Structure 1
Amino acid sequence: MLRLLNIELHKLRYNRAAKVISIIYFVLITFIALISSIEFNFGDFHFRVADQGIFNFPYIWHFNTYIAAILKLFLAIVIVSMVSNEYSYRTLKQNLIDGLSKKEFILSKFFTVLLFAAVSTIFIFFVSLILGLLFSDYKEIGIIFSGLQYIGAYFLKLVAFFSFCLFLGILVKRSAFALGFLIIWQIVEWLAYGLMKWQIFKDSEIADHVSRIFPLNAMANLIKEPFSRLGAIQSAATQLGENFSKTYEVGFLNMLIVLIWTGLFMYWSYAILKRRDL
């Protein structure tokens, strides 16, 4: 494992674009902390974002992982370009000539995916922990660590998404086309959901259940939007006569679906590489 991972890190070490994009990604995550300093003043009315409870434990684990997951496209660019460069610079063929098997090549990429996901997860964990200790109204040990399932879901979400990007990179060989295919696939999932809801089943509940197995939708369902959990939003909805019945927990079925997709992406990546004439 370490040998294969070292090969990939050696390649990334000389990839300036990958380093710049990775730095931007982690800097943007750090900027979440700047939200705490945002304050709106309207005459005698003062509104400070940090005072709305977004940095309270355990809510902060949900909020920060949801926001950070939006930025995952930056590292996805690194993953896709990492694969496309293998074809552009013919390093893949050279690695195989030097004795690296196709299975080891795929494993080296997957280990890199795991590393990126792990580093990002550890980073968001400490950013969230520090912000929570600074701004949370609840600092009991039991409360602080009661929402860590979102950290685990964040890691799984990144691994699955990066595995999908790795599969697309191997499938189309070019980073621009792979990212374009990723966007198209998201649109296809939206269109499929709309067709099921309005034309095929004409039932939103059935459409919701079927769409849960779509890869990108399954990843999105791991960490649902956290904003409607805020007290201010709940109070406003109550005054308007609306009640939220949404479940925010990380579901076991969603995790299982995402794990299956991750395995399929890696298997398909290997199958394509195994059959392809390099």
Structure 2
Amino acid sequence: MRLLIIELRKVIWYRAFWISSFGYLLLMPLLFMSLANFNIQVSGGTSLGLNLYLFPQVWQNVTYMATWFNLLLYFFVILLVTNEFQFRTLRQNIIDGMSREEVLIGKLLLLLLFTVVSTLLVAAVGLGCGLAYGEGVTWATATEKIHFLGIFFLQCYATLVFALFLSLVVQKQGLTIIAYLFYSMVVENVLRFKLLPQGWGDYLPMKIISDLIPNPLPSLLGMGVAKDPEWISVFLTLGYIALFSLASWGWLRWRDL
């Protein structure tokens, strides 16, 4: 708890934290409410209305859409961590007596807090939209696919831990964002389609993490059955969280701050 409090003291005086938090807490509910009357234009100019908030599918729908907001948290974590290098806050923490392990644990706890708050927000918005715009709500339907909230939690935390690792390695805000985009959009695709045997690229970090929650749109359009997350993806994501955390620890121990 002491380590988390230290991290929070750094954050609460940071203007970007409040701007980002306000934007995150405001934009997500507004987006979901704006999709209450969602229509898709199909052939012949026909408009197809879709209700995204029917239980139990609402949990997959809202968590899938909310994953796009993880990018806001991702870039905010990059901003926080790289600023600590710019203003030498990390170095000062160690001079003041914190071990490098404590520095890392504090940051992992802060990311965990961000993830918990984000998941609770998604749960509240999903439940609210489901009750407001759904039909025939029962306890059974309302809780049937609620496990998607746990999958969202895992996906969000994995994304932020990767952001932490990349920020510790690169240390510059702009370069870290470029490195993330280059790795996600170029490196993994080259590995998947050019270098690795067929199918192996499906287990690369960003591919696994981003695909944890299957796209619900095909099932909404009657083009298939809504898929549940694959357990191998869940276990691999847990493994990647551990790997990125260990890599961050190793880098902090080796790096001269």
Using the size of structure 2 for normalisation, the TM-score is 0.92
Give the Cα–Cα distance (whole angstroms) in 1 for the partners of residues 227 and 83 of structure 2. Answer: 39
Amino acid at match of 2:146: L
Q: 1:88 aligns to what?
A: 86
How do residues 121-200 of structure 1 correspond to structure 2 at under 5 angstroms? 121-187=119-185, 188-195=187-194
Give the Cα–Cα distance (whole angstroms) in 2 for the partners of residues 28 and 275 of structure 1. Answer: 40
Deviation at 1:273, TM superposition (A): 0.7
SS in 2 for 1:71: helix
Deviation at 1:48, TM superposition (A): 7.9
Deviation at 1:13, TM superposition (A): 0.8
Give the Cα–Cα distance (whole angstroms) in 1 for the partners of residues 241 and 215 of structure 2. Answer: 22
Q: 2:100 aligns to what?
A: 102
Q: 1:74 aligns to what?
A: 72
Deviation at 1:33, TM superposition (A): 1.1
Task: Note if 1:7 corresponds to 2:6.
Answer: yes
Asked which structure has the greater CA Rg, the reply is 1
SS in 2 for 1:36: coil
Q: 1:240 aligns to what?
A: none
Q: 2:18 aligns to what?
A: 19
Deviation at 1:270, TM superposition (A): 0.9
How do residues 37-56 of structure 1 correspond to structure 2 at under 5 angstroms? 37=37, 49=49, 52-56=50-54
Task: Note if 1:267 corresponds to 2:257.
Answer: no
**Change over 3 Å in CA distance of 1:64–1:40 after alignment to 2:** closer
Give the Cα–Cα distance (whole angstroms) in 1 for the partners of residues 40 and 110 of structure 2. Answer: 42
CA-based RMSD:
2.0
Deviation at 1:39, TM superposition (A): 6.8
Contact 1:22–1:74 (CA under 8 A) maintained in structure 2: no
**Which consecutive residues of structure 1, in runs of 5 or more, have no partner in the other structure?**
238-243
**Change over 3 Å in CA distance of 1:66–1:39 after alignment to 2:** closer
Q: 1:241 aligns to what?
A: none
Q: Deviations over 1:75-124 (max 9, x none)?
A: 11111111111111111111111111100000000001100010000000
Give the Cα–Cα distance (whole angstroms) in 2 for the partners of residues 247 and 46 of structure 1. Answer: 24
Give the Cα–Cα distance (whole angstroms) in 1 for the partners of residues 6 and 55 of structure 2. Answer: 40
Contact 1:36–1:48 (CA under 8 A) maintained in structure 2: no
How many correspondences in the alignment? 252
Q: 1:218 aligns to what?
A: 208
SS in 1 for 2:35: helix
How do residues 193-272 of structure 1 correspond to structure 2 at under 5 angstroms? 193-195=192-194, 201=197, 206-207=198-199, 210-230=200-220, 233-234=221-222, 237=223, 244=224, 248-272=227-251
SS in 2 for 1:76: helix
SS in 2 for 1:137: coil
Amino acid at match of 1:256: F
Q: Deviations over 1:188-213 (max 9, x none)?
A: 112222225xxx65xxxx42xx1232
Give the Cα–Cα distance (whole angstroms) in 2 for the partners of residues 224 and 19 of structure 1. Answer: 32
Give the Cα–Cα distance (whole angstroms) in 1 for the partners of residues 245 and 46 of structure 2. Answer: 51
What is the aligned-residue identity percentage?
27
Using the size of structure 1 for normalisation, the TM-score is 0.85
Give the Cα–Cα distance (whole angstroms) in 1 for the partners of residues 37 and 53 of structure 2. Answer: 12
Give the Cα–Cα distance (whole angstroms) in 1 for the partners of residues 247 and 229 of structure 2. Answer: 27
